[in-house]
Chain A
Amino acid sequence: MNPPILIEKFLGWTLPKELKEPILGDLSEEFLTLKIENPYWANYWYTRQAISTGLQFLTKTKRGLMMFVFSMFFFFTSILIAMIWGGELFMFINIPSFAIFLPPTILFTIAVTSKNTFFQAFQLFVNGTTDYGLIQLKSAKHLFSSMGNIGLLVGLVAVFIGVITIGLVYDEGKYPLAKALTVSILTLFYAVILKVICYVAEAKIQFKIINLAS
């Protein structure tokens, strides 16, 4: 029986690089000793130590990420409240709009950067930006900048498609304007939200680049 793997991973994620090895090693050593007497107690002991230690270091090593998560939570809560006040929440959820804008945006972003850069940028964001070099930070910044802009342009293309569709069906005398308009505007709406998120991520990385350079 080994220490609980998810708990161990959580602790490893929160610890600063220089303390990762001694702390995980010490806990592992004590866990193995306790396990001989009572495996369940050993598991409980490890979980309690790891969570308490992890939470203690979380505010130190992941402060930037926590602030980002909090600001995103605040942003999305405000949007949700506005949506609910504006009518119904489901009015703003449209699968075709997602399908029109998200896959092309991701594919274009990978095409202009690389698959590695794509995953590394998100990893860098989740793990904090302290252990990365200038080139990696600049690549991540470029990725978020590209993704935000590409998403916005794809959203605009969707608006044009919607407007053209409206024009065509209007000429044919069918007048089902609302559906085409909704899909196109919602696509642009999602694209703008993605642009906001990418802009914040980009600005955060730029701040780290400035700190690193100074």
Chain B
Amino acid sequence: MFSMSDKEKFLGEFEQFILLSILKLSDNAYGSAIRQLLAEAVKRDVTIGALYTTLDRLEKKGLLSSKMDEVTPERGGRAKKFYKLTAQGQKALKRSKEALTNMWQGLSLSMQHKVFSK
């Protein structure tokens, strides 16, 4: 029977959004930029705490790596933390996309499909 280890489990929706944001932002993927991209692209206004909790979790899973940048004055002398997808992170994202694509095959949400109604 097909089984997956913990590391191979599918990503949650928010985790996918974050990983995709990091890919889109490329070399500029840090907390504030990711938060703003999520707000613009998926209209999701997340708190910085929720964002970093997920980033931390993804990093612990080995899907992300991070490095601290140099201190900049416009941030009150505080450094940025930049994130990058690891090979494992890219694999997980690809697997989630494939799974979703497979599930969507042959489906459309047009009115012709049966819907539950009273």
What residues make up the interface of A, taking CB atoms closer than 8 Å to B?
A: 19, 21-30, 32, 49, 52-54, 56-57
Contacts and interface: CB of A to CB of B under 8 A. Distances in A.
A21 B32 contact: no
Size bracket, chain B contacts: 20 to 34
A53 B30 contact: no
A25 B35 contact: no
Interface of B: 30-32, 35-36, 47-50, 52-53, 56, 68, 74-76, 78-81
Q: Is the interface of B mostly helix, strand, loop or mixed?
A: helix
A27 B30 CA distance: 12
Contact of B52 (A23, A52, A54): A23
Contacts, number: 59
A49 B80 CA distance: 18
B49 A30 contact: no
Given A27-B48, A49-B47, A19 B75 contact: no
B31 A28 contact: no
Contacts of B75: 25-26, 28-29
A30 B50 CA distance: 16
- 5 smallest CB-CB distances across A and B, nearest first, come from A53-B49, A25-B78, A22-B81, A25-B75, A26-B31
Contact of B30 (A26, A49, A52): A26
Contacts of A32: 74
Contacts of B36: 30
